[in-house]
Amino acid sequence: MDARRGSRVVKPKVRQVGFFTLDAPNPPGRSLSGPVGFGSSQQSLSPPTDPLSPVMIPPPRHLSDNFASRSTILPVPTPANWRNSGDQIHVGSYNPSQTLLATSPSSRIWDDELEMSEDSSTSVPYRRSGSGKIASSLPGLGVHMAAKSSENSQAVPLRTLGPNKPSGVAENNGGVPTEVQNQPPPSSSKSLKAKTTKAERRALQEAQRAAKVSAKGETNKSGTAPGKTVKQPSAMKDSTAAPSVASTDKRGGDRTLDKERKKDAPHPRMQFDDKNRVEKAKKRAVFNQTEARNRVELFRHLPQYEQGTQLPDLVSKFFQLDTIHPAIYKVGLQYMAGDICGGNARCIAMLHAFQQAIKDYSTPPQKSLGRDLTAKIGGYVSFFNECRPLSVSMGNSIRFLKNRIAKLPVNLLESEVKATLCSDIDRFINEKIIIADEVIVRHAATKIRDGDVLLTYGSSCAVEMLLLYAHELGKEFRVVVVDSRPKLEGQALLRRLIASGLKCTYTHINAISYVMHEVTRVFLGAAAVLSNGTVYSRVGTAGVAMVANAFHVPVLICCEAYKFHERVQLDSICFNELGDPDAISKVPGRKDVNYLDNLTAKEQLQCLNLMYDATPSDYVSMIVTDYGMIPPTSVPVIVREYRREHLWI
């Protein structure tokens, strides 16, 4: 009991060691690595609470801003993987980024950067303007050599890096005062030098590996590269397995840690006006986000961060985020930058990232795969949540995945488990999203007659597929695409529709009441459908539905059943997402519209850029799902009848 209590007291410190390297630069913290860690590992050889995946190299924990100050920038590891998984994401038209990138102003910077990163594996994938760290390419051959030699000679200390963290716990536990938490972040310090080199070596190794992988991908130079990449994980596995012998006694403490971590995990719908909770969440957050100061009173319970403050911080921390798999990290960044948006695209990207992470996962010794993997995925989920609040579709698929993990038969081998989970994820994507969309499209197409004028708002992939399908069927109809600032997603949709030869009208939401006269059907997408029939969708949808209702035009919602949620929501205030307020105060490409340029910081002006709104079920005539066409009053039936099936498939 004593040990447990002790570890509980020290808990915040552990967190800091794990996540907040910037804030823990003091000598006790430093003593974790190298020989000290090795020595102390006698008493605390237990595996870390968040075990490293075999591919990930345990990163150094103290050196974050060393990278910054030295202006050595390292490419994100495994760019080849990156590209592969990127390809995986493009399923059908779910990822609108291919075409959206060029059109949406917010993602333009990212577009460039992404292109850069794809041009050559050695360039810097995430470079933020103004950081002044425009870095050289990969370190030269000499460094390579050094890294290589280090790999051999330094094998022992490297191995201890894995279990280092718990050893740090033990140290802290042993009586290091709590001042650790409140230390101001240091500038680059000379005293860190010894470890710096090691960190550097580590980083270089990463880079080297990345280079190798990319070289393999691009030039097909040799068959040795894959062998290498295969070998390394196994080596790491060995290294993680090594300390297992002496680790049994610490398990109890670990479990409590796990438990606390779980307990402490911020609720996905945390109320951000609750100061205590926000503080707590911040402590365990993966990266610092500056909260926007000037927020609308009614929406203070929603998270809003200064745009642009998150990325540099996150990028600089890449090597400290030892618990985050690169695939997860990448997808998280893409969420944050807005490169992946739309419920289906986000969900598919997330699931593919999970797949990647599961493939690279190995159960740490003395742990049960089910629990450990669930905890790990929980960590990934909270990372995603920090990047951008989770969508209902993501929430439901996470629930599915966790349920699958929990229901795994005990007697399976690890490799079998991983294969099952991956195929389960594939099946989920296939059955619940792709085939579901096909069914929806087929159902909804029966409601399109010749001579119809269809109206759609924003860009929904299901509606897009429907329009294209109906066009293929040879139905004669016209489409009105209604759009709104700031995202202007409709333009991307319009482009694709016109490319397929549909007759289109494009208008802004301001003209909706004018254009509604001629419309015979309104087709809308949805981010979620709640059990009272409320449709939760892109902001502006409710307005469109209301106008359509006033004109007695039927409103059809195309939504896959996996986006149904048993929650009830009456307004769009309780649960919503705040976008970048600058996006509405500035008009891109218009220099003359600058009335708000200096006003955004003022107290009196509060910009509200809501992302979603709730359409009451009265305005909805029909919801088209994979289970057929149902009235909005029947959503709870679907939720009730198919909840089990959703979890099982």
Partner 1 sequence: MWWRSASFILDKQQTEGVSKPPETLSISPPVDESSMADTFQNPNPKISAYYQSRASHTAVVTSDWLAQAQAAVGFPTDEQLLSEADVKDSESGKPFSVIDEFNNWRKQPDLAEAVAAIRSLAAVIRSSQATTMMELEIELKKASDSLKSWDTTSISLTAGCDLFMRYVTRTSALEYEDFKSAKSRLIERAEKFGEISCKARRIIAMLSQDFIFDGCTILVHGFSRVVMEVLRLAAQNKKLFRVFCTEGRPDRTGLRLSNELAKLDVPVKLLIDSAVAYTMDEVDMVLVGADGVVESGGIINMMGTYQIALVAHSMNKPMYVAAESYKFARLYPLDQKDMAPALRPIDFGVPIPSKVEVEKSARDYTPPQYLTLLFTDLGVLSPSVVSDELIQLYL
Binding site for partner 1 (CB under 8 A): 447, 521, 552, 554, 556, 621-622, 627-631, 633-634, 637-638, 641
| Amino acid, res. 34 | G
Of 638, 635, 606, whose CA–CA distance to 292 is shortest? 606
The DSSP output letter for 496 is H
Phi, psi (degrees; rounded to nearest 5) at 551 = -95, 10
Q: How far apart are the first and last CA of the chain?
A: 42
- Cβ atoms of 294 and 51 closer than 8 Å: no
CB of 624 to partner 1, least distance (A): 9
Burial degree of 204 (CB within 10 A; 0-12, 13-18, 19+): buried
- State the minimum distance, in angstroms, from the CB of residue 521 to partner 1: 7
Q: Which is nearer to partner 1, 126 or 627 (CB)?
A: 627
Q: Which is nearer to partner 1, 252 or 554 (CB)?
A: 554
Q: Nearest Cα to 451, choosing from 475, 421, 482? A: 475
In the complex with partner 1, the residue whose CB is nearer, 366 or 634, is: 634
Residue-wise over 437-472: b if at least 16 C-beta within 10 A, else e? bebbbebbbebbeeebbbbbbbbbbbbbbbbbbbbe
- Identity at 425, one-letter amino acid code: I
Closer residue to partner 1, CB minimum distance, 326 or 533:
533
Which residues lie below 8 Å from residue 482, measured CB to CB, with a gap of 6+?
455, 456, 457, 458, 490, 507, 508, 509, 511, 512, 515, 540, 544
Q: How far is the CB of 551 from partner 1 (least distance, A)?
A: 12
**Beta carbon of residue 449, minimum distance to partner 1 (angstroms, whole number):** 8
Nearer to partner 1, 268 or 554 (CB): 554
Nearer to partner 1, 39 or 628 (CB): 628
Nearer to partner 1, 429 or 555 (CB): 555
CB of 641 to partner 1, least distance (A): 7
Minimum Å gap between C-beta 484 and partner 1 is 25
Distance between CA atoms of residues 268 and 339, nearest Å: 22
Closer of 497 and 635 to partner 1 (Cβ): 635
Task: State the greatest distance between any 2 C-alpha atoms of the chain, in Å, as a whole number.
Answer: 80
DSSP 8-state assignment for residue 366: T
Q: How far is the CB of 276 from partner 1 (least distance, A)?
A: 42
Residue 2, φ and ψ in degrees, nearest 5? -60, -45
> Measured from the CB atom, is 49 or 456 closer to partner 1?
456
Least Cα distance to 83 among 40, 135, 128, 121 occurs for: 121
Sequence-separated (6 or more) residues with CB below 8 Å from residue 599: 585, 605
547 Cβ contact list (under 8 Å, min separation 6): 512, 513, 516
Nearest to 240 by CA among 50, 402, 418: 50
Smaller CB separation from partner 1, 209 or 447: 447
Tell the smallest beta-carbon distance from residue 290 to partner 1 (Å): 47
Shortest CB 630 distance to partner 1, Å: 6
CB of 629 to partner 1, least distance (A): 5
629 vs 647, beta carbon nearer partner 1: 629
Question: Strand, coil or helix: what is 297?
Answer: helix
Work out how close the CB of 642 gets to partner 1 at its nearest, in angstroms, rounded to a whole number: 8
